[in-house]
Amino acid sequence: MQNEVLRHGPLQLYPDRHRANWKGREVTLTLREYAIVEKLAQQPGQDMQYRNLYDLVRGSGFSAGIGDDGYQVNVRAFIKRIRRKFREIDPKFNAIENYPRFGYRWRSGS
């Protein structure tokens, strides 16, 4: 759908342009970062596994990092960059929660 806007609390997503706004200000995300934010925000409160998030941005079965779970480090790096970008706009940003040893979720009500 052209010009579709997905709203999740103060988050606005523009899927056709791969853009995100937080509290009315644009968050400068890469395409991969946008894909992660969109996936998490579309299912608030639902835990997303590290592997699923990694496959989303790198393709199913792709592996990078050291060891069988090396991809987790890469996902954590993506999330760290995403949080930093949101916190440049809102220092109290906390919509992305970690589920230790499993993955991440978008906080319900955020």
pLDDT-above-70 percentage for the chain: 90
Residue 13 and residue 100: Cα distance in Å, rounded?
27
* pTM of the model as a whole: 0.90
Give all strands (DSSP E) within 23-90, no chain letters: 25-27, 48-49
How much is the pLDDT for 108? Answer: 84
Q: What is the mean pLDDT of residues 14-36?
A: 97
Residue 29 has a CB neighbour count (10 Å cut-off) of 19
Domains of the chain: 6-106 (1.10.10.10)
Q: Check residue 59 and give its pLDDT.
A: 77
**pLDDT(109) > 80:** no
Mind listing the pLDDT tens digit for each residue in 51-67? 999 999 887 776 666 66
